[in-house]
Homo-oligomer: A and B are copies of this chain.
Amino acid sequence: MTLGVKEQVSDSSRADILKAAASCFMARGYAATSIDDVARSLGATKGRIYHHFPSKADLFVAVFRAGMDLNYEAVRPHCDLPGPALERWRAMATAHVLQMIDTKAFQRAVWIGVEMHLRGATTPQQRTALNELIDYRSAYSQLFRKVLLEGRDEGVFNFDDLSITNQLMFMALNSPIFWYTPRMGETRADIENIARQVVDFAEGGLRSIQGKRHD
């Protein structure tokens, strides 16, 4: 069941297109990105894109899916570890944030996709394709909701509305996709330090009430 050379080449070409598309979508947004832009950034032409993807919407959906796959793979291993909820949450959150930083372009595309869905995007056909991925996203979100509830049961987290809290947490954890830019001479430790600050902030938010209102 190993892939032949041809398929490997083909998949690598496809992966290159996905990378380039992710960068373009990040740089200009979905609507403002033309297929020619993506092709040009590859030194190619539209023909190459349309040979692998039937439409711009499908290309975008593929980028979305790739981004979510990366997330899921990174976080999933930490979900079932034993131990207190807080530790488990920190492991998941840290993995998530590092993914945001490491695969920023894809994660921005995911963000754009979620935004498009919230609006009620375009044609019904691609809406169904998006919905499938939104479900994917929801399942991912569910991993965090679960540990949030466990943390509340254990008394380490304090929050009122789970949905709102989940939104706030993800806004904080996702935020590097907007403001992070690599610095020259940046080490892995620097990046991990940034991630730690983000996770610390979110953790503080989840404990929120604890810190105050001891009146």
Contact = CB atoms under 8 A, between A and B. Distances in A.
Contact of A205 (B118, B178, B201): B201
A203 B158 CA distance: 13
A87 B11 CA distance: 57
A179 B167 contact: yes
Q: How many copies does the complex hold?
A: 2
A127 to B, nearest CB: 15
B212 A200 contact: yes
Contact of A175 (B160, B168, B194, B211): B168
Interface of A: 27-32, 115, 118-119, 159-161, 164-165, 167-168, 171-172, 174-175, 178-179, 194, 197-198, 200-212
Given A200-B208, A204-B210, 16 more contacts: A29-B29, A29-B115, A159-B197, A159-B201, A167-B179, A168-B197, A168-B198, A168-B201, A200-B205, A200-B209, A202-B205, A204-B211, A205-B205, A207-B211, A207-B212, A211-B211
